[in-house]
Structures are given as C-alpha cells and as structure tokens.
A and B are shown apart, each in its own frame.
Chain A
C-alpha cells in the first residue's frame, strides 16, 4: 500500500471563486508557511529585535511578545527550524501553517470593504503600511497587516476560513471583487 498524502486546503471546494481580476481581488494563499513566535518570558525585546532585524521574514504583531511569521519561500518545517535557530532561547516557535489561512485583499476599495466589518480606522494615516494587529471582523478575529496603501494581508483560523471568505464577499457586495486561489 502506497502512502502519499496530499494536503487539502481549508478552502478547497468551498472557496466559491469569483473569477477574473476585478478592481478588487481577494487572493487565497495555498502554500504560505505560517509560524507563531512566542517570546520567552522576559525576552520580548530580544525576540522582536531578531525578527525585525532579519528582513527575511514577514513578522506580524499579534500581541505583546507574539508574532505571526509568514513565508512564501519556506516549507513549514524549514520555517520553524530556521526561526528556532535564529531565535534560540529567546522564543518558542509553533508551526501554524495548517492552523491558519492567509489571504490578500487588494484594490482601491480594500479599506472601504474592510470597514464593513472592522472597527479599526484603516485610513493610511492611522493604520500605516507595515502595521499589523489582530482585530475583530464581524464575528471573527483576524490578523490584519497593511502591505500597501490598497493592499492588506488577512490571517484567520483555518476552521473559520470558509465562513470568513463568505463574510468578506458580503462585505464587498457593493464593490467589484474577484476571489480565487493565488497563483504562483
């Protein structure tokens, strides 16, 4: 008997793709490696320093001493291994590549669409490019990062991904939005 396991994405078969590349687009990332870094007690500053200094990782603030690290180039195991080596005793690293789903919302109406579920002021002057935080979007908690003036990354719990995308489509109902898996 051959054992060759194919991973299933949380949104496989449930994404309800809206085809094309419309003015606004929601891309679902199929293979982003995601890890959570928990600073060892008393070592938040050191862990933050290493994460920021490097530049090889996209570290998103979740809370004090806690970051989501996303990578499009690493496999989940190598991301955890690499982070563990670099952070050493300053942090605990937990693989969450299967526990979270990463999405990118881009387009001129991106901030307006998000305002239909998110209370945080997303004016570029108030939530600048490079900022990230965990916040409520309708009923669900989401880590939101601004990666461009009209571009946001969203990271949600896997079990809620389907509900979240369905919500986002409703939030974007008055705006032109296409939805699909990212191609890369």
Chain B
C-alpha cells in the first residue's frame, strides 16, 4: 500500500460512496472524486502503458494537462477512448478500462519495445520502414498502428444526442479560480452580461486546493460565497464542466459543455454534450498556470507526479500520494507541497532542491538536499526509491512517491490561437501571452501573477477596465484578507544532468532527452522540425506539460535563449472535442433538410418511388400492380404520354417573378436570346450564359404584363440563378429599375403532356384552350372551374402537346386530383422524372447532363438563339473568341445503339470506327442515355467533334470504366417528331 485516502479532509462527500470499475475490478470512491483521485484512493498507481515503449505509467497531474492517465470510459456504443482520468468526474457505475496494453495492464507484451529502445530512436519508423514503398500502407502502418496506439473507438452508432448553441455576452471569463471569480464578481456587480466557463465540474479552480486562508477561512469558502452571489445576478451564466477550447475570429469562442458525461444513465431528452459558440465583447482568460515536470532519469515511473497535483490530491480529495514522498523541486513550490503533505501527516522522504542558494524553509523534520538532483529511479510498476546526486555524491533514497516541481508556465493557449506568438519573459522564465487586442486579456496566474492576492487583484482590475470600456460605472470589489502566501519563484532547470536512464520530456509520445539531441544533430533543431522529428508535443495532450522543457533543452543545446527557439504553433482545440459535439444535431435528416414538393402527398398516394434531387424528393416513377422493374413502369409512362397523356410534378423548378420598368431590359442582358420584344401573354425558351460564353442554365421567360415577367430555372440551378440575377441587378447594373422575388414555393406546378392534354385540361379550365385561343407558347392567368386562379403555360419538354399548370401550392393536390379524375377516360397517367428524362432525350432537349459548363449554345445546337444583334448580354463578348467558334468543337448529336445486347452509358467516350481505344483518339462523350420505348432501342445524346456533319456515321462508344465497347449510329438529336407536329397540334 502506498497511495491512500486520508482519514479526513478534502472537498469530497465521504457520506456518499460511489461504485465504479477499472479493468473489471470493482472499486469505490466518493462524490466529488475524479476517476484519478478515486484510483489513487484505491492505490491504483499503474493506469496505462506508454505509446511507444509500453512502459508502465501512472497519474501525473490533477487536471487537463494529463499525459498518462488516458482511459476508455463506458462500454458498447458509449465508449469514450482517451479520456483523462484526472478530469473525469466519478459517477456510480462508471466503467473504465486501461489502454495500449495486451493482454493486460500488468503484463504487456509490447513492453519488449522498451528493451529494444536503443533501436527505436526518434525517426526510427521513418528510416526503417521506407522500403519497399508499397509496404507502407498495407503492412508497416497497420502493424505500427496496432502496436503504438491509444484507445480504440467503436463503430456502433452513437445513441446520444448533441446540441450546438450560440451565446452572447459582454464578458466571457475562462477559469473560475481567484482571478476568474474576482473578474466575474466585478463584471456582474456592474451589470454586465457575464459567462463564466470552467472545465472542472466544481467551480473554484485553485481555490479548491489552495491552503492560504482568505478572511481567515479556507479559500473554497470564499469561492462558495462568490458563486452564490453570481448565481443571483440575472445576467450571469455559470458553465461548469465546460472547456473553452478555441478562440476564433471576431472574439468568438468555442466551448464544449459535458452535460451528461458524469452519469451512467442518460436522459434522452437532453444532449450529452453541448457545443457553445460564445460571441464575447470581451474575454478574460484566467486559466491559471501549469507546473512543469522535471526531466530526470526514470521520471516516468508510476508514483511520480507533479508537486501541485500531490497538493491537490491531499487538499481537495483527501488523498496521500504515498506514505513516504520524495520531493524534487527547483523552486519554492516544492516547499509548499512539503507543507501541505506534512500537515496531512504524510512523511517526506527528502526534499531535493536543485538550487544551492535557496532560502525557503522546509517544514520541521524534513531533510533538504540542496544543490541536488535525481538521476534515476527504482521500482518496477511503481517507484520504490530515487537516486539523488549532489556534487557527485550519490544517495539512494527510499520512497513510494515523488512530487516534482519544475517551475510554472502561464496557460496561454487560447490567446495564441489566432497567430500571435508567445513572448518570453526572462524574469518569469516563461512564455507569456502576446498582446491580443481589446477583446482578450489575461488575468492572474495566466498573466504571470502567481500570488493569491495578485490573482484576486488582477482579476478585479482587468474586469474593471472592461466595465469602463463599455461605458458603465464600475462596481466595487473588496479583496478578502489574504493569509501567508507563497511566491513561487524558481530557477529554470530544463534537464537534470547525469540521467542514468531515459529522462522523458513528452510522456505521452515517449520522447526523451536524447531524442531531442538526435534531432538537433541530424539538422532538425528548429522547434517546428524537432517537434515533427521526435513527435514531441504531437500527442493528444499537445505537449501541455512537455513542450516548455523541450524548448528549454533545445535552447540549451543550441546555446541560445528559449526566446530564440520560440514555441510551436498553438491551434484549437485546447483539449480534444468529440465529433458528436462538433456535429451537434446535424445528423440524419437534420444534416440536410428535406425539401418537399407541394405535390408530394399526391405523388405518394399514387405510389411514387421517390429519388433525392438535391434537397428535394422527386417522384421518380409510379409503379403499377404487376410491374416488376422500374423500366416496365417508365416504358409504360412514356408510351402513355406519347399516345394519351401524363401528369408530372414540376413544382421543383425555380420560379422568379421580375418587376419594374427595366425588367425587359434586365432580362435581355441576362439571357443570350432576345427578350425585349416578347409579347405579353407569351413564353419563350431562355438560355443564360456565363460571362465566359458557356451555358449556365436554361428555362422559360413568360411576360405576364408589360413590366412583369416570370422566369423559370432548372431545379438544380434555382438558387444559383437567383444569386446570379441579384449580382447582375445589384452589382453589374444597379441603375436598372428592376425588382424580383423567388416565388418557387408559392406554386404547385404540373406538366400535362400528350395528345389528350388539351381535352383533359379543358375539363378543368374555364378559359378557351383551343389552339387558336391558347397557342403554343401562350402564357397567362386562367380560371379553373370552381373559381380558382391559376397560371397556364403552353410549353413542352416532352415534344408532345403539353401545358404547365401552376396553382397556389396548397391547392396543388386538389387540382392534381381533379385532373386525374378528368383524365381517367382519356387514359391519363402520373409520370415521374425518369419518364420525363426519356421523353426529353427522345425529343433532343438538353438538361444539365448536357449543359455541364463546357458547352456553348452552338455546341448544344442552340446557336440560332444567340441574340448577336443585342448590344450586350452576359457571355456575349467571350462567345466570339477563338476556340469557342472552332469548327471541330464537340456538337450535340443523337446516337442509336447498333448492338442491342450491349449497354451505352453516360460518360462513355466516342471513337472513330477502327481507332485504337485511347484518349488520344477521343472524339467526344455520351451525356445522356435511355431506352426509347418509342423507337424500341437504346438511344443517347452525345457530343461529337463536328457532329452535325457526321449523321449516319458508325461510331464506337467506348466505356473504359465498365469495360464496354459497342457500336452506335450518329443521328439528329431529335428522335421524335422533328417537324413539331405534335407540339403544335
């Protein structure tokens, strides 16, 4: 037995005993424990195996910088790997397992790496597993990854919910220690909106483990009073269990709140984690300071921890780290720990102080070894003794725990995440935060003010300045009377000379002092190179403990100041954040909103099979009883439209209404074809180009009144075309008097196509629909029987006699039902986008399968539409450039399959008959393919070099991806009714 629970003391609830398991063993702790403190209370010093050498490792810290005590918490779909035991709140039923060991923590096969370690130096893997190159991905990497690793994640679906929230405040205080609490109190009393975020599950920070008295009482009493007061301020939000992990542009902070990570039973009505985006006018970082490890031989043995951690475990958790603790320090802090432990009745084996001239006073009875250092440690799975060296005189000191203190580093990560470089302070022997502007200031220990009184004063002072900057009267703050306090001065000691065994710099990535020396010798002495060469600071803890020593060691070896070495780049996240929290509720149907057509219900009632089209669900085909394949349904729908009539939902087309005296002029500049003279009551096909001369989108333009147009876009480009029009109106030609609005959602729109279309529509529409009264391309408001206003357009995508009828969206289903009833005697059927696609291919109409951004109007056979006489339109100028008018451009053609048993597929390339299959001989590509029930064969639309001159040619359709070569005949792309007799009927 070494570590144990003290008989009294600490802020734990001894009346509340909590059961948990570690590697299957049933253990118990108390409410208020972390997993780490509970493990120590049970004398579980060995908690993990190191990453590379599989060395036994124990708990080093009592906070978020922990490099060693990474465990997996939870089981099944709720496994959280790589959780730091030092911050994990103990709860009833917590099940923790150790990581990176096989078969067990106590007996680990991988530990052989430790004995092979002289072959496993920095860069070993890069140097050794270089050849053959192909082996890296398949053999070496998987092997190495299995041997060197962290916790495993699991594949089952995460059963829990996550939430993302925005928050706004005048002041964000990060950290609830003395500086943070003082700042929050001043701001709250001054009426500011304050958010106080604390990563711990108890607010109070260092006040929870500090022993210097405030107003004569233990400091946590002050913290409780302060928190009680803050609770009472309506503008204050207290966020315990919340880690502020990132500082982003415009003073937005990212924070993750662990809402239900401290419970075995999850309330499904609440998220397990919440990601906060906090927009703060000002922020105070009161993140404290991190104690530095000392780099001495064998400094990684279980039982060796930070001195401040030993104090915290004693004072906050009522735990002695050992029965006989050796303290190794380079400053005053080690003496404070000696006092804390002595006060709890723990024996101090020795206090080894690297300084020769220190004047600190050790507690009575404690032996001090001045000017000494530890050069090695003994023990197997826990420390049993240290070898201290003083001026060449070695001494074996028996102990069962070591507390080390290497000085202090302000926690400045957040302040450096936006590019500012830390500034070296010679006086403090530490890096301080860079000047970060008005939005963010450091306070307390994070600003290098280590004394308790200074922390309180600094927090209050920084908050007062912010209150003033916001133009508010500053409320008072009377600092409590601070008892005898310690100034944690120290003399930097980056590397303890004379190490007899590995002296670790980065515990988590197993980087030791010699690795850094090797890096420097091999030319990787720059701090960023050394990091990557040795992997120091690249583990999940991002070198929170080790980086500063790595910098100091590099500086010493290079003979320069740490200021010259500098730090590696600080980036979010401060500590790891789960993907669940980052995704929030954006998963499944909430990841991409579903868009529903107003005719969705109608289509569903008719048995539609739906297909995703962007965010939309579109009806793809409508299977009838007995139809076994989609082709059977689609072929029937196509034949029905060609012979009788069909009804198709086209509500998803973009619809934009355009108003104003310059509406016609505006559209005339937007479309490549002329619009100015379009008569009222008529529609026209319209083609929009990009400024580079390529086709952007197509649709229709209808003139509803002299200064009122309705334009349609394709479904896919609806949003893009609206933005394009807004750019044209607001940026290119703001002088044009035009306004427009997307009305896509207002209208349910259906296409009624086929020889019987007029008869069917006339049964529902009051207005005369005869060819004379409502000719091809007529577009105007009509009145339906039953007194409903609608818009009717005689336009056709299928090549049949066809109309598009638009009614207010809510009436869509009722009108579609009425049309289906009216059409029943005529053989009307519902048809989906698959049949629509076949119909348009048969008619040679293009879609974005053809208009893929590389196609000019002439390529698509629409060159005659170009309003070349217009003074200007988007795309006009560059349409005339050489290359876009070349005679050998690929032009739209039709293809008829010549081999019935071989598939043509879109994306296939075209070759001359007899040409070697190669992209050098490429003659074009296939853009759309279908089986044409009308022609009884497969047909395609394709782009072929000088294609319009090559009708009748036998050509090879070469599909290298699918390994198909087949013959097709080049033909006119209009397969059906080239004279437009049906269209005009």
- Residue positions of A touching B, CB distance < 8 A: 1-10, 12-14, 36, 38-42, 65-66, 76, 92, 94-100, 115-116, 118-121, 123, 126, 138-140, 157-160, 162-164, 166-167, 170-171, 173-174
Contact = CB atoms under 8 A, between A and B. Distances in A.
Contacts of B592: 139
Nearest to B167: A115
B962 interface: no
A64 B737 CA distance: 15
Contacts of A38: 659, 739-741
Contacts of A120: 166
Interface centre among A2, A65, A66, A162 (most CB of B within 10 A): A162
Given A76-B808, A99-B745, 16 more contacts: A8-B810, A38-B740, A40-B659, A95-B746, A96-B746, A97-B746, A98-B811, A99-B747, A116-B585, A118-B166, A121-B279, A123-B193, A159-B598, A163-B589, A170-B161, A173-B163
B811 A5 contact: yes
B785 interface: yes
Interface stretch (B630-638, B812-820, B842-850): B812-820
B957 to A, nearest CB: 39
A138 B586 contact: yes
B743 A166 contact: no
Interface string B235-277: 0000000000000000000000000000000000111000001
Interface residues of B, number: 57
B132 interface: no
Interface in B581-604: 585-586, 589-590, 592-598, 601
Contacts of A162: 594, 596
B859 to A, nearest CB: 34
A107 B226 CA distance: 31
B33 interface: no
Contact of B660 (A40, A98, A123, A166): A40
B970 to A, nearest CB: 41
5 contacts: A3-B784, A41-B737, A120-B166, A158-B745, A166-B590
B163 A7 contact: no
Nearest to B810: A7
A132 B247 CA distance: 30
Given A5-B811, A173-B161, A99 B743 contact: yes
Nearest to B193: A123
A75 B467 CA distance: 52
Interface in B798-830: 808-815, 818, 821-822
Contact of B821 (A1, A41, A115, A166): A1
Tell me which of B279, B595, B822 has the highest count of chain A C-beta atoms within 10 A of its own C-beta.
B595
B657 A94 contact: yes
Given A115-B167, A162-B596, A167-B585, A8 B813 contact: yes
A121 B812 CA distance: 39
B788 interface: yes
A79 to B, nearest CB: 13
A163 B595 contact: yes
Nearest to B815: A5
B743 A94 contact: yes
B608 interface: no
B538 interface: no
Contact of B746 (A2, A99, A167): A99
A97 B810 CA distance: 9
Contacts of A100: 745
A115 B20 CA distance: 37
B164 interface: yes
A162 B746 CA distance: 15
A165 to B, nearest CB: 11
A10 B809 contact: yes
Contacts of A94: 657, 741, 743, 746
A41 B734 CA distance: 10
**6 closest cross-chain pairs (CB), A and B:** A3-B786, A99-B746, A7-B810, A163-B593, A5-B814, A98-B809
B479 to A, nearest CB: 31
B809 A36 contact: no
Contacts of A9: 810
Contacts of A98: 598, 745-747, 808-811
Q: Which of A2, A41, A119 has the most CB of B within 10 A?
A: A41
B763 interface: yes
Interface in B767-801: 784-786, 788
Interface string B722-740: 0000000000000011111
B764 interface: yes
B763 to A, nearest CB: 7
A106 B167 CA distance: 19
B168 interface: yes
B270 A36 contact: no
Nearest to A140: B593
Interface in B459-514: none
B356 interface: no
Contact of B596 (A3, A10, A65, A66): A10
A9 B233 CA distance: 45
B788 A5 contact: yes
Contacts of B597: 159
B815 A170 contact: no
Contacts of B590: 138, 166-167, 170
A92 to B, nearest CB: 4
A10 B598 contact: yes
Contacts of A5: 784, 786, 788, 811, 814-815, 818
A42 B661 CA distance: 12
Nearest to B789: A77
Contacts of A1: 763, 818, 821-822
A131 to B, nearest CB: 15
A173 to B, nearest CB: 6
Contacts of B745: 96, 98-100, 157-159
